[in-house]
A and B are shown apart, each in its own frame.
Chain A
């Protein structure tokens, strides 16, 4: 029983950064913007979070710094694509390349330093209930943030007027603009929200998942988060399900490596990436469904005319 609980806990820890980054990107894409810089924002959040936590000794300040760094970094993308109408694919890619370089440079002095870890929740009495106690009341704080964030985004997108407006911008920015909606302003806010989420996901990596700084520690998670949004057909609860499936794959291959299964470790390590491809193929096979769910103006630059 204890082993099962432990495995479930590690799956949740592996799924949390994927979930947060993907939920952020989902809001961005619902507004019609494709930000391929998730990996870059995530790694910047990771190095910023680790650095602030290491220098101040407080993991909470680290987490806050991760969010701020991610948001600021995404602002760069927003200015380029929204104000200067640059190609979103290329700009997102350059954000990732810049983030990987910048984080490596900033993090040089952090390599090998002991980090700080966010403590797990511990409610006297409740957290020690067998089995469910640790699952529900004993996880790291970011886990609870990720779940509430998913619920909040679901409520925001489908139950509020602003959410409806955001979705309408994603489906047709020209119509939304004609109705007098401030398309660019909405998109700025969406992109910055996505950046804050990616930063938070990165902070989780360097403050909870492995509390240290390792170069390129995001290891493609930002790209998997992007794939999750497509896989989820832009629905928050499906992102939640997808993130946990991927968390399970990630943990599964680690356990398989530890058990010494007679398969080369490199093949097991490539499973999450192969699984991403398989899942993308399965979901995109149904062209009508994909067409129906994709925000119609996704990735198209918009320049308001007067």
Chain B
């Protein structure tokens, strides 16, 4: 059997909308097969994975906590990817945002008041942007591949955080545990509705960022610039849009948003620095960006879906004893199917069976001598 792609005269609006849904349905089907292979009734598993984790109000708050960093990072990355610039080191920028933002509560715990949180958030954005600027600088100055440098910097950031919390920033009264002191009250990001659940202001930041980036991409010259340079660098050059400026712009923007996500997570959900502060948000956000079709509003929905895969993974681990790595598998499959379904937007897919291929072959054989004659 062979797969053949037939180009559509124009992109299909129908599949543009449908593709994420088809991808989600396919993921569910593949997931069902996986659960069956693991010896679990798929319907039970789906109930535990997708329904139970969001059946009570406090659980929706947990969903918002997981979704906030994913959405924040993914809207930033979507701008990069639209411009055809590949920042895949958001995980490192997330960590550096968390480190920079934690400078105040860890090193100056006596500094209190309403200014603490805004300053921490600002520092977090600076930290993320600073860390992203390394890859941007190497890309623009030495044309070094940004995919590899931004990824390598993730490992460096993880080791740096590990050193900080085991070394100079370790809580001296923490019984030797590798963690910093608990942040003071004025350094903790407030909860939105303390009576109902734990969700904090991070989720609001995520929504604001999504709307702001959506406005920028659809209504402002900068967004147009991003799209032009992404689809045709040559056309962009003729229009006077600088490529190097764009590399810096997208990296600094996505880095700052990842940094904001980092400090919000540490200040809101964790309350101190630890060796590991992220269950791979920076990488999962890549999936969120694509599932949301690189559209900030779609990303909000996609972020909620991917947040659910995290909660579901924890739920099946405790209920069925399946490794919570199942969440990663779901996320990976989802991205695969989204990318595959996106092909349907530009192409029609024709499956050509063996019989037909043979017929084609003979037709070609017959045509060959004629070609020879023509030459």
Q: B-contacting residues of A (Cβ < 8 Å)?
A: 36, 76, 79-80, 83-87, 89-91, 93-95, 97-102, 104-105, 108, 220, 223, 226-227, 230, 264, 266-267, 269-270, 273-274, 276-277, 280-281, 284-285, 287, 290, 303
Chain A positions within 8 Å of B148 at CB level: 223, 226-227, 230, 276-277, 280
Residues of B within 8 A of A285 (CB): 142
* B310-333 residues at the A interface, CB under 8 angstroms: 322-323, 325-333
**Nearest-CB residue, chain B, relative to A97:** B332
Task: Pick from A86, A94, A105, A223: contact of B152, CB below 8 A.
Answer: A223
Residue of A nearest to B156 (CB): A270
Chain B residues with Cβ below 8 Å from A223 are: 148, 151-152
B149 CB within 8 Å of chain A? yes
B5 with A84: CB separation less than 8 A: yes
Known: A91-B336, A104-B328. A281 touches B152 (CB 8 A): no
Contact present for B336 and A264 (CB under 8 Å): no
Other-chain contact of A101, B153, B162, B286, B329 (Cβ < 8 Å): B329
Partner of B162 from A105, A266, A287 at Cβ < 8 Å: A266
Q: A290–B143 Cα gap in the complex (Å)? A: 10
Q: Which residues of A contact B153 (CB under 8 A)?
A: 273, 277
C-alpha gap A267/B167 in the complex (Å): 12
**A34 and chain B: residue at smallest CB distance:** B147
> Are the CB atoms of A287 and B143 closer together than 8 Å?
yes
Task: List the B side residues contacting A98 at CB < 8 Å.
Answer: 328-329, 332-333, 335-336
B218 within 8 A of A: no
A50 to chain B, nearest CB (A): 16
Chain B contacts for A230, CB-based, 8 A: 145, 148
Q: Is B340 an interface residue (CB 8 A)?
A: yes
> Is B339 an interface residue, CB under 8 A from the partner?
yes
CB distance from A74 to the nearest CB of B (A): 13
| Binary contact readout B134-173 vs A (1 if CB under 8 angstroms, 0 otherwise) | 0000100011110111011101100110110011000000
Are B152 and A101 interface neighbours, CB within 8 A?
no
Minimum Cβ distance to chain B for residue A276 (Å): 5
Q: Is the CB of A97 within 8 A of B331?
A: yes
CB-nearest residue of chain A to B321: A108
Contact B332 A102 (CB under 8 A): yes
Contact of A104 among B155, B286, B325, B333 (CB under 8 A): B325
> Which residues of B sit under 8 angstroms from A80, Cβ to Cβ?
336, 339-340
CB of B88 within 8 Å of the partner chain? yes
**In the assembly, what is the distance between CA of A198 and CA of B69, in Å?**
33
Say yes or no: B328 contacts A100, CB within 8 Å: yes
Give the most central of B142, B347, B349: most A CB within 10 Å: B142
- In the complex where A94-B332, A97-B335, A101-B332 touch, is A284 in contact with B143 (Cβ < 8 A)? yes
State the CA gap A55–B113 with chains docked (Å). Answer: 61
CB <8 Å contact, A280 and B149: yes
Q: Which residues of B contact A86 (CB under 8 A)?
A: 339-340, 342-343
- Assembly CA distance A105 to B328 (angstroms): 9
Q: Beta-carbon contacts of B45-81 to A below 8 Å, as 1s and 0s?
A: 0000000000000000000000000000000000001
Q: What are 30 sample pairs from A and B whose C-beta atoms fall under 8 A apart?
A: A36-B147, A80-B336, A84-B343, A85-B347, A89-B86, A90-B286, A90-B335, A93-B335, A94-B339, A97-B284, A98-B332, A98-B335, A100-B328, A101-B328, A102-B325, A102-B329, A102-B332, A105-B323, A105-B328, A220-B152, A226-B148, A227-B152, A266-B160, A266-B162, A267-B159, A277-B138, A277-B144, A280-B148, A284-B145, A303-B5
Residues in A with CB closer than 8 Å to B284 are: 97
In the complex formed, the residue of A with least CB distance to B168 is A264
Instruction: State whether A76 touches B336 (Cβ < 8 A).
Output: yes
The one of B143, B155, B328, B342 that contacts A97, using a Cβ cutoff of 8 Å: B328
Q: Is the CB of B331 within 8 A of A93?
A: no
A71 to B5, CA, bound (A): 24
Contact residue range for chain B? 35 or more
Chain A binding surface SS class: helix
Report if A101-B325 is in contact (Cβ < 8 Å); known contacts: A90-B335, A270-B160: yes
Interface presence of B245 (CB below 8 A):
no
A273 — which chain B residues lie within 8 A by C-beta?
152-153, 155-156
Q: State in angstroms the CA–CA spacing of A269 and B162 once bound together.
A: 11
Given contacts A105-B325, A220-B152, A266-B162, contact A91 B147 (CB under 8 A): no
Residue B287 lies at the interface, judged by CB distance under 8 Å to chain A: yes
Q: Which residues of B contact A267 (CB under 8 A)?
A: 159, 163
- The listed residue (B3, B88, B331) touching A83 by CB distance below 8 A is B3
**A213: min CB distance to chain B, Å:** 13
Q: Does B283 contact A (CB under 8 A)?
A: yes
Q: Which 8 A-B pairs have the closest CB atoms?
A: A101-B328, A98-B332, A104-B325, A94-B335, A266-B163, A105-B325, A83-B3, A266-B159
The reply to whether the CB of B7 lies closer than 8 angstroms to some CB of chain A is yes
Contact in complex: A280, B144 (CB < 8 Å): yes
A281 CB contacts on chain B under 8 angstroms: 138, 142, 144
**What 5 new A-B contacts, CB under 8 Å, besides A84-B343, A105-B329, A287-B143?**
A97-B328, A101-B327, A105-B322, A223-B152, A281-B142
Shortest C-beta distance, B251 to chain A (Å), equals: 15
> How far in angstroms is the closest Cβ of chain A from B359?
14
Q: Which residues of B sit under 8 angstroms from A104, Cβ to Cβ? A: 323, 325, 328
Kindly provide the distance from the CB of A273 to the nearest chain B CB, expressed in whole angstroms.
4
**A102 to B333, alpha carbons, bound, how many Å?**
10
Which residues on the B side are within 8 Å of A277 (C-beta)?
A: 138, 144, 148-149, 152-153
Expressed in whole angstroms, the Cα–Cα distance for A9 and B148 within the complex equals 29
* Shortest Cβ distance from B149 into A: residue: A277
Counting chain B CB atoms within 10 Å of each CB, which of A223, A270, A280, A285 scores highest? A270
Q: Which residues of A contact B349 (CB under 8 A)?
A: 84
Q: Are B151 and A303 in contact (CB under 8 A)?
A: no
How far is B222's CA from A251's CA once the two chains are assembled, in angstroms? 47
